[in-house]
Amino acid sequence: MANPTLLILPGDGIGPEVMEQVERIIGWFGDKRGHAFDVTTDLVGGAAYDAHGTPLTDETMAKAQEVDAVLLGAVGGPKYDDLDFSVKPERGLLRLRKEMDLYSNLRPAQCFDALADFSSLKKDVVAGLDIMIVRELTSGVYFGEPRGIQDDNEGGRIGVNTQRYTTSEIRRVARSAFELAKRRSNKVCSMEKANVMESGILWREEVSWVHENEYPDVELSHMYADNGAMQLVRAPKQFDVIVTDNLFGDILSDCAAMLTGSLGMLPSASLGAPMENGRPKALYEPVHGSAPDIAGQGKANPCACVLSFAMALRYSFDLGEEATRLENAVQSVLAAGTRTADLMQAGDAKPVSTKEMGDAILAELDASL
Ligand code: NAD
């Protein structure tokens, strides 16, 4: 059988540095575990703009549509701040998400024991935390029409955005959440504002429909999103999978992310409809940006990007055990006190470089055999 295909888009800033470590790890899975990938590398963001005058060429977009999964580093940087909006680095990423129709954004919030002190919450509230926020990514108030700013003809202005969801948009992201829950603790909490928004009422009804008709064995609860925000910081371990819309998901996933400490540790996946081979359209990327303040200095933490590849192993390639092997390797490296600069606390030994962190993860992978 042909090897699965991966398109790697390192991007800008620390993107290429962290991706270099991931490429070593991808190589390891081919050499040591018999899971080889056919990897193509290309440009996105500012790097693509510098080479081609656009943050994503049509050729790269076409490749992204063909491969089994895309792995992206980060885009953006001060060099591109003054570019026209239409060619800003972020447009490359948005085009990928839009044209691949990646409607389900998976943001795990997992607290590695060795990093429990990094959370702004008490250690016992977050130690062992492992939740997944599923955010609808392609609809809702960020896309709904009408939108814009107009004169009110009385000397003032009116800003308008429209929260709009259809049955099929809600049902497909709900299915994605229920499927995930089946691989985890079989529990979904759906969050909206059905108390004050009609779109919230529809959201609740459609999620319930999918539950009753397709996933009756998964436990489903509903919560108003404002209460959800409170519960996330009060007792986050009560949740397993949270499913919510684009706007609430944006806020709740960032809130949950900070439960775990450092941006350098946070992976994500954006999934779309299944392709002919059954694999979902998929883009995996760290949550962090291009970190221009540390780019090119060998200081970046590659773990978020490494853990994004672990998500690819699990969600695109059905290699859950190998994903766990990689996550455990990261866990062991941290437990041994190996830290990049972003994970240092007063009194810690010297930080390791991006490459040394990659070396340590590879050594742990070897030790796992
Ligand atoms: P950022 O995530 O790049 O950096 C925020 C802070 O976290 C910085 O101090 C940075 O040094 C640190 N940091 C981030 N990732 C790290 C890592 N892996 N290891 C160690 N430290 C890390 O966010 P920002 O500074 O607001 O944005 C910088 C650029 O990145 C901007 O151009 C922004 O538009 C872009 N951006 C891109 C994405 C993306 O590609 N998905 C996401 C967010 C921001």
Question: Active site residue: 226, 293, 318, 366, which one?
Answer: 226
Mean pLDDT over 297-323 rounds to: 97
Q: What is the pLDDT of residue 114?
A: 85
pLDDT in tens, 226-243: 999 999 999 999 999 999
Superfamily of domain 130-259: Isopropylmalate Dehydrogenase (3.40.718.10)
Q: What is the pLDDT of residue 116?
A: 87
User: Given the DSSP bridges, would you call strands 267-274 and 104-110 parallel, antiparallel or unpaired?
Assistant: antiparallel
So what's the pLDDT on residue 260? 78
- Position 346 pLDDT exceeds 80: no
CATH H-level, domain 1-110+262-369: superfamily: Isopropylmalate Dehydrogenase (3.40.718.10)
pLDDT of residue 141: 95
Residue nearest to atom 37 of ligand 1 (CA): 289
pLDDT at 120: 85
- Nearest-atom number in ligand 1 for the CA of 303 is 18
Taking alpha carbons only, the member of 108, 3, 136, 113 closest to residue 323 is 108
> What average pLDDT does the segment 91-110 reach?
95
Task: Compute the distance from residue 200 Cα to the ligand 1 centre, in Å.
Answer: 32
One-letter identity of residue 198: E
Average pLDDT over residues 71-88: 96
Report pLDDT digits (tens) over 189-221.
999 999 999 999 999 999 999 999 999 999 999
Q: Is 142 an active-site residue? A: yes
The pTM is what?
A: 0.94
Residue 254 falls in the annotated catalytic set:
yes
Every domain of the chain with CATH number 3.40.718.10 lies at 1-110+262-369, 130-259
Mean pLDDT of 254-268: 86
Of 288, 306, 353, best ligand 1 pocket probe by most atoms within 8 Å of the beta carbon:
288
Residues 6+ away with beta carbon under 8 Å from 276: none
Q: What percent of the chain has pLDDT over 70?
A: 100
- Write down the catalytic residue from 142, 182, 224, 237: 142
Query: How far is Cα 291 from Cα 15, in angstroms, rounded to an integer?
Result: 9
Tell whether the model's pLDDT for residue 348 goes beyond 90: no
pLDDT at 356: 98
276 pLDDT band, cuts 50/70/90, is very high
Instruction: Say what the pLDDT of residue 119 is.
Output: 85
Closest CA to 39 of 13, 6, 68, 1: 6
Partners of residue 130 on adjacent β-strands: 110
Q: What is the pLDDT of residues 4-54, one digit of tens each?
A: 999 999 999 999 999 999 999 999 999 999 999 999 999 999 999 999 999
Expressed in angstroms and rounded, the spacing between residue 217 Cα and the centre of ligand 1 is 40
